[in-house]
Amino acid sequence: MLLKIPKVGDKFATGATCCEVESTKSVSDIYAPISGAIARANERLLTQPGLMNSDPYGEGWLFELSIDSSEVNEQLLDFQQYRLLIEG
């Protein structure tokens, strides 16, 4: 598995590709859920990308995005709201 993560300070608009994950079968883009700048990036994943699968809500996080305060998106979901959406 290969991973391209953004650098701290990189800025992205809503929907822009900000990260790329490549496996043996495919390349997947990760899109910014809202406009903002990268506050932290998990560089540990560059040497241990398997953490994304084994511990996605713990050590396998990708990045933290500092959102642009001029853009408020009430359609964003927290973990529990998303879980309800996908599990029904």
| Number of structural domains in the chain | 1
58-73 burial: b if 16+ Cβ within 10 Å, else e: eebbbbebebeeeeee
CATH number at residue 48: 2.40.50.100
Three-state secondary-structure class, residue 31 = strand
* Host domain of residue 54: 2-87
46-82 residue pLDDT tens? 999 999 999 998 999 999 999 877 666 666 788 899 8
pTM: 0.76
pLDDT band at 37 (very low <50, low <70, confident <90, very high): very high
